[in-house]
Amino acid sequence: MNQTVASYLLQYEPVQQLLAFLSKLLGFNAISLLYFLIFALAILAAVGFLSLVGGLGTYAERKISADMQARIGPNRVGPYGILQFLADGVKMLLKEDIVPTQSDKFLFYVAPMLCIVGVFGTIAVVPFSSGFTIFDFNVGLVYLIGISSLVGLGVFLGGYGSNSKWSMLGGMRGASQIISYEIPVVLSALSIVLLSGGLSFSSLVKAQGGWPHQWFIFHNPFTFVGFFILFIGSLAETNRAPFDLPEAESELVSGYHTEFSGMRFGFFALAEYIEVFVVCGLAAALFLGGYNVPMNLGGDGLIGQVLQLGSFISKTLFLYYMVIVTRWTLPRLRVDQLMTMCWKYLIPISMVNLIMVGLWMVAFDGKSIFDLIFSGASVATGTGH
Amino acid sequence: MFDKILFISSALATIVGAVLTISVKNIMHAAVFLLLSLLGVAGLYLTLGADFVAVIQLVVYVGGVVVLMVFAVMLTAGSSGQKANRFGLVKIPTMGNFRTYTIGIVFAALVLMTIIKLYTNVFAMSRLAQIPAYSPTVSKIGISLVGTHVLAFEISSVLLLGALVGAAIVSRPRRENR
Amino acid sequence: MGFYSYLVVSTILFVLGVIGVLARKNIIAILLSLELILNAAALNFVTYTRFVNNNIDGHVFALFIIIVAAAEAAVGLAIVLRFFQIRETIHVDDATQLQG
Amino acid sequence: MSTKNLDIYMPILILLILGVAMVSVTLLIGKLIRPNNPSAVKNQPYECGEDPIGSAWSVFNMRFYVTGLIFIIFDVESALMFPVVAVFKQLNDIGLGGLVFIELFLFILILASGLAYCWRKGDLDWVKSYHTEKGQD
């Protein structure tokens, strides 16, 4: 509850010596200054890592789609084209930034900012590992859902501000798609909170064990369905894969960010790729046992943190790979199919899911299906002989 | 030290956002500044130790009400400020001119008088001698919602049902024309 | 910070909301300033929980204010849009006839 | 565990300010080092080659608003359910799980009936079944 990376690092000897040195140097107790320094470093590391993941995401996407279509993909810039995303970034910085005359200057400035602020706000609560989560907020899950709804607003204002019919339609579709798919995501996250009994990411992850059979995805059949609803919902929420209607190249000339050029468009793309990582991290933390390591190897020491970090990132990157693969395998949905699927299929199913998980909690006192089988088997064998 | 920074920045965001919401000419900019003000209020809730109410403010207000307002502005043909009505008269501009603001400020001053009058006995109220430390509030709210306030919890679902059905009927495209 | 500073902020927010409601003629702008007034009230409730009696009912009441405000915004905007379709303008002075 | 001061919320403020600063600084730098020769043609919104006719702020129909409306009702529902669901396991261990489940079930049932009503009345389907006002749809 409310533990932060700074309070975690304070357990270590060198950090306490630094604190003693600082407070002696400045006279007053420099605990909050030290908190600030540790937070600044942790945030720079997290933002750097996530923009690297965002950049490499574009590279990975082009490479994976290339070899799925038997072509080579970018291999000019750097070894095997690794530095392609740096070249794209520099190009975006140097391209001319055209703001059409009738469009709204203020909204052109605010829309990418809302997207970036919405995504950066979520970085604070992403559960990298038990110690390295920047801020394990007591209501972290609700905070993540609230802050990431800013992106939907940014998408809409981007479309509305550029005053062209195409991007207006794209902005409208994007915003209504993002907000309507937020409900199945929230309802399936609620069923997990029901099982784990707390809203902070540490309680959500600690309620699961390291071994796959202790993950919530296999806890009971309803959470198994809930995982796929969350995955589909988060695909739609980040305008990815079969739901990338707002930026549908064929119809809307790349939708809401048609008029954005140069670095403004770069912010939309960066925000989208970082949000895909954050949303995959959410799915991994809720359903795939987050940063739990089997048999709790390495405990809570620094080695344990690194192992937990590795476990969380490998699960998230596996989901990231699934997102990229689904993009190049499934055709795009029409608007009405998209909305019908959300309102008439996903939301009723996730409501039934939530009720049935509650019933499962009451009936089996929160035990997972494997516990029941094992305890059932042991009772059977117990009474057997 | 950081308590002061968080309070001042949230209060500043709230008040600057509110002033701009009521004074800016373009309605869409007013909605964006309302968003800034609501984020400020969420920050104020954090400084008051109400962490759950702050994030619910984020989810419901920032993620719902402002999006709905922006949709409504879009559907009413954006900022059509100076449209003359059927009789060709350009009435008072929709975003208010000097006259409307003076009326507003005069009446608001009256309201302020009554508020200050009210506050005299608020200050006389007995207050907590020692302000409690910040502690997580979710479980307390949850238990009170399920325990003492269970009736309010159930009635609010009936209220939401009424709002949903009513608004759906009103905004359903009618079969006949006007 | 102190008890008074929160009261000052919520009073300023309330007064700005009242000015906004009276000075604007666009119905949606009025609804925007209405949200400010509701926020000021909810802020006061949470302030009293922290400084006056520390029971959780202040937070629960602020929660219900937010929920009722969201439902009210939904219904209010539905009425405004229906009014716009009939009258073609969302100017407050046009809302003169009571008959639909 | 209760904390005396608010230092734990420092990262949220730092990250929000970092987001705003990053966008503003990059756009500022861009303004300096970027070529900037605006021409009338270039500044028109892109319309596959033809010149744009009429402002884009034309009126769209209501189905976008109906989606937003139903969204906010269910968003508020999930917001109200968060505290109850967070406390469910704790109460279930005490033995009150059945009672809380009934309250939660009632809450969801009432709102599911709202969704069923909108479904039956055709508010959910994107292309309205019967023809509505002329030129509206």
Per-residue pLDDT in tens (0 to 9) along chain A, 385 residues: 678 888 888 888 888 888 888 888 887 777 888 888 899 999 999 999 998 888 888 888 888 888 888 887 777 777 777 777 777 777 776 776 666 677 778 888 898 899 999 999 999 999 988 888 888 888 999 999 999 899 989 888 888 887 777 777 778 888 888 888 999 999 999 999 999 988 999 999 988 888 888 888 888 899 999 999 999 999 888 887 777 766 665 445 555 666 666 777 788 888 888 999 999 999 999 998 888 888 877 777 888 889 999 999 999 999 999 988 888 888 877 778 888 888 899 999 999 999 999 999 998 887 888 888 888 777 777 665 4
Q: Do A339 and D124 touch (CB under 8 A)?
A: yes
Q: How do residues D31-54 score in pLDDT, each as one tens digit?
A: 777 766 666 666 665 555 555 555
Query: Of the candidates C5, C25, C67, which has its C-beta nearest B60's C-beta?
Result: C67
Please say whether the beta carbons of A338 and A245 come within 8 A: yes
The shortest C-alpha distance from D23 to chain C (Å) reads 27
For residues A250 and D130, give the distance between their C-alpha atoms in angstroms, rounded to a whole number: 29
Query: Of the candidates D65, D72, D75, which has its C-beta nearest C81's C-beta?
Result: D65
Which pLDDT score is estimated for B106? 93
Which pLDDT score is estimated for D135? 47
Which pLDDT score is estimated for B79? 45
Give the residue among A174, A168, A169 at the shortest CA–CA distance from A149.
A174
The ranges assigned to domains in chain A are: 98-375
Give the residue among A320, A342, A340 at the shortest CA–CA distance from A236.
A342
Which pLDDT score is estimated for D132? 45
CATH architecture of the domain D62-136 equals: Up-down Bundle (1.20)
Q: Do B21 and C20 touch (CB under 8 A)?
A: yes
The shortest C-alpha distance from D134 to chain A (Å) reads 20
Residue A136's SS3 state is: strand
Q: Which of D1, D2, D4, D6 to mutate to test the interface with B (most CBs of B within 10 A)?
A: D6
Q: Which of the 8 DSSP states describes residue B95?
A: T
Touching subunits for chain C (3+ Cβ pairs under 8 A) = B, D
Q: Which domains does chain B have, with CATH numbers?
A: 1-93 (1.20.120.1200)
Please say whether the beta carbons of A39 and A45 come within 8 A: no
The ranges assigned to domains in chain D are: 3-33, 62-136
The shortest C-alpha distance from C78 to chain D (Å) reads 8
Q: Given a cut of 70, is residue C92 above it in pLDDT?
A: yes
Put simply, whether D53 touches A (Cβ < 8 Å) is no
Cβ neighbours of B57 in A, within 8 Å: 146
* Strand-pair category, A135-136 with A3-4: antiparallel
Which pLDDT score is estimated for D136? 45
- Tell me which chain A residue has its CA closest to the CA of residue D57: A163
Per-residue pLDDT in tens (0 to 9) along chain D, 137 residues: 556 778 888 899 999 999 999 888 888 887 777 766 666 666 665 555 555 555 544 456 677 788 889 999 999 999 999 999 999 998 988 888 889 999 999 999 999 999 999 888 887 777 765 544 444 44
pTM of the model: 0.90
Q: CA torsion D103→D101→A288→A318, rounded to 10°? A: -40
Which pLDDT score is estimated for A256? 65
For tokens 């009912």, what's the residue?
C57
Q: CA torsion D123→D129→D134→D135, rounded to 10°? A: 80
Full DSSP string of A38-79: HHHHHHHHHHHHHHHHHHHHHHHHHHHHHHHTT-----SSSG
Q: Do D73 and C77 touch (CB under 8 A)?
A: no
With residue A3 as reference, give the H or E element that holds it: strand A3-4
- What are the residue ranges in chain B where pLDDT is below 70? 77-94, 174-178
How many alpha carbons lie under 13 Å from residue A195 in its C-beta half-sphere?
31
R_g over Cα of chain A: 23
